[in-house]
Amino acid sequence: MHLAEGILSGPVLAVGAAGAAAGVGVGLWMLDEDRIPRVAVLSSSFFVASLIHVPVGVTEAHLLLTGLAGLILGWTAFPALLVALLLQAILFGYGGLTTLGVNTLTMALAAVVCHYLFSDAVRHARRSVAAVLAFLCGVAGIALAAGFTAFALVSSGQGFVEPAYALFAFHLPVMGIEGLVTMFVALFLRRVRPELLRAPIYNLRHGSQ
């Protein structure tokens, strides 16, 4: 779901860069030594999973693992995805440096939303309920990222309305696959390493926890 260079308008690029910078700032503030290894693992997993691209107009369809990143990383998904996207842009030409902020924001923000919607319930609900919620988390991660990316396209001009609809439609099959991957990984972690599903929480009133 990497948006390429030369597509988005200047204001959209500026908003994306500012939003990504703010998110990375919060993520780094909440990142401690104990969480660095899991951030590195999720960043490398995203890097590998999203190397297999299916062209969809001005973007591509591929696994994102945004829902899973939300469950495990919370706000630290921002620096994790930034590093992965930066390496992909430099090494393989996916996306680009000018669109790095927008691409980071659309994917990492989706992860953070999934974190607040599903993380606590996936950890504490009984197994059958947690399985359903983890699947929905994976679906929501792709749906939100696709929605945010489509919104960035539409905000850059009316000529991108049809590509924006196509982008979302082509990611519908990916949502199901991502949901299954997230479900199986989340259930496995609940059984063997439940502490990995405790992402740092940012509370606007009380700060990080």
Give the start-to-end residue ranges of the domains of the chain.
10-197
65 versus 101: the higher-pLDDT residue is: 101
Residue 124's Cβ-side half-sphere holds a number of Cα atoms within 13 Å equal to 5
CA dihedral 80, 113, 134, 123 (to 10 degrees): 90
Give me the pLDDT at residue 48, please: 77
Condensed to tens digits (0 to 9), the pLDDT of residues 83-103 reads 999 988 898 887 789 999 999
Strands of the chain, DSSP E? 54-56, 59-61, 202-203, 207-208
pLDDT at position 204 is 43
CA–CA dist 28, 88 (Å, integer): 21
d(CA 40, CA 79): 10
105 pLDDT above the threshold of 50: yes
Identify the residue with better confidence: 103 or 165.
103
Q: What is the pTM of this model?
A: 0.86
Taking all residues of the chain, what is their mean pLDDT, rounded to a whole number? 85
pLDDT attached to residue 75: 93
Does 7 or 205 have the greater pLDDT score?
Answer: 7
C-alpha–C-alpha distance, residues 112 and 32, integer Å: 18
The C-alpha atoms of residue 4 and residue 48 are separated, in whole angstroms, by: 19
Per-residue pLDDT at 21: 97
DSSP designation for 33: G
Q: Say which CATH class 10-197 falls into.
A: mainly alpha
